[in-house]
């Protein structure tokens, strides 16, 4: 057992928040945030190919050694920062808000070899056998509102536009047998998403019902890009969600049912595979769906009573 195996990560968070009420109807919320992250893990690996770590084979007693036990250190140094805001308006029938945000992530991933068993060559623990940088810019703006139509009926809408740019360059820590070298990352991608939501709610004398429709888009994450095969290019998933529900309740019981149909395009699903560090991996599936019904119910068997105790 390798006694110096370790996993370390330190994160520091900074926030600046502003809240202001102009009038009883108008409010402003804004914030700036900045997060730094620095960490590494160090582990003992058995029988690894030296060429995958930027080292040449060596000879011991006339035998050409191409594999050996070694200690490697994988590290990351990243930061995430940006700002968000929202302006809200409220009156007797309308609740509305306009908001958005702009964020940037910048992260370096790199690895070093600290020790190699019986290695006869020159070993530089400060040398990176792989290094890559990833940046992600994410901007969004939204407008949402809820309006009381009367008679227990209300309607809501939520419209969001989101723009994302990905850039990833450098050497990955995955070996490419076709090129006989570490994989080269040269990823530049962008996504433009429009995510609308709308629905109608009804409530009257314990009766509640709703219908809704929404669209949601999700971009691939860093692992989707770095863990993909040479011929695989991950893309974003899109969800079309249809829902309807009804419930009734009073002070003794409540019952309800929700119907849903979730239609996916290019859904990112778990494949059952895991990465070298134990992360669950996902992959795009062209067409998939989920549908079902959710039933709820509850009853109060005995009346609920409360006892208040005042201490001297």
**Is it the case that residue 130 has pLDDT exceeding 80?**
yes
Q: Which long-range contacts (CB under 8 A, 24 or more apart) does 17-23 make?
A: none
- Per-residue confidence (pLDDT) for residue 309, from 0 to 100: 52
**Beta pairing partners, 88:** 27, 97
- Per-residue confidence (pLDDT) for residue 230, from 0 to 100: 61
**Is it the case that residue 277 has pLDDT exceeding 80?**
no
CB 206 within 8 A of CB 241: no
**Beta pairing partners, 265:** 238, 287
Residues 6+ apart with CB under 8 A from 200: 153, 154, 155, 210, 211, 212
Per-residue pLDDT tens over the stretch 205-262: 999 999 999 999 999 988 888 877 666 788 999 999 999 999 998 888 899 999 999 9
CA distance 74 to 130: 9
**Is it the case that residue 76 has pLDDT exceeding 60?**
yes
CA distance 268 to 285: 6
Confidence of residue 96 (pLDDT cuts 50, 70, 90): very high
**Beta pairing partners, 30:** 18, 85
Residues 6+ apart with CB under 8 A from 310: none
Q: How far is CA 3 from the centre of its chain?
A: 33
Per-residue pLDDT tens over the stretch 133-181: 999 999 999 999 999 999 999 999 999 999 999 999 999 988 888 888 9
CA distance 130 to 111: 6
**Is it the case that residue 82 has pLDDT exceeding 90?**
yes
> Is 52 in a helix, a strand, or coil?
helix
- CA trace torsion 298, 299, 303, 309 (10° rounding): -20
Least confident of 69-78, 141-150, 179-188, 287-296: 179-188
Look at the pTM and tell me if it is higher than 0.75.
yes
Per-residue buried b or exposed e for 188-198, using 16+ beta carbons within 10 Å of the residue's own CB: ebebebebebe
**Is it the case that residue 90 has pLDDT exceeding 90?**
yes
What does the DSSP 8-state code read for residue 221? -
């Amino acid at each position: 057992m390798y006694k110096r195996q370790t996993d370390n990560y330190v994160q520091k968070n900074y926030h600046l928040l502003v809240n202001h009420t102009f009038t009883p109807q108008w409010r402003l919320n804004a914030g700036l945030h900045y997060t730094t992250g620095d960490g590494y893990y160090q582990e003992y690996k058995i029988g690894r190919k030296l060429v995958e770590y930027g080292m040449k084979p060596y000879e011991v007693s006339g035998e050409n050694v191409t594999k050996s036990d070694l200690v490697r250190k994988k590290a990351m140094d990243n930061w995430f920062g940006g700002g968000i805001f929202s302006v809200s308006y409220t009156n007797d029938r309308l609740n509305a808000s306009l908001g958005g945000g702009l964020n940037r992530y910048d992260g370096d991933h790199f690895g070093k070899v600290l020790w190699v068993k019986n290695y006869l060559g020159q070993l530089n623990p400060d040398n990176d056998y792989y290094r890559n940088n990833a940046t992600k810019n994410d901007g969004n703006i939204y407008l949402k509102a809820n309006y009381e139509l009367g008679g227990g009926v209300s309607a809501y809408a939520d419209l969001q536009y989101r723009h994302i740019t990905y850039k990833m360059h450098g050497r990955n820590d995955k070996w490419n047998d076709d090129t006989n070298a570490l994989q080269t990352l040269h990823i530049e991608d962008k996504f433009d998403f429009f995510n609308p939501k709308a629905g109608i709610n009804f409530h009257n004398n314990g009766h509640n019902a709703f219908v809704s429709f929404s669209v949601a888009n999700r971009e691939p994450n860093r692992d989707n890009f770095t863990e993909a095969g040479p011929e695989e290019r991950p893309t974003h998933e899109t969800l079309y969600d249809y829902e309807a529900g009804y419930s009734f309740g009073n002070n003794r019981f409540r019952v309800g049912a929700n119907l849903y149909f979730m239609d996916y395009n290019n859904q990112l699903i778990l494949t059952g595979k895991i990465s070298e560090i134990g992360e669950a991996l996902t992959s795009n599936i062209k067409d998939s769906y989920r549908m079902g019904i959710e039933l709820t119910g509850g009853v109060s068997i005995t009346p609920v009573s409360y006892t208040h105790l005042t201490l001297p």
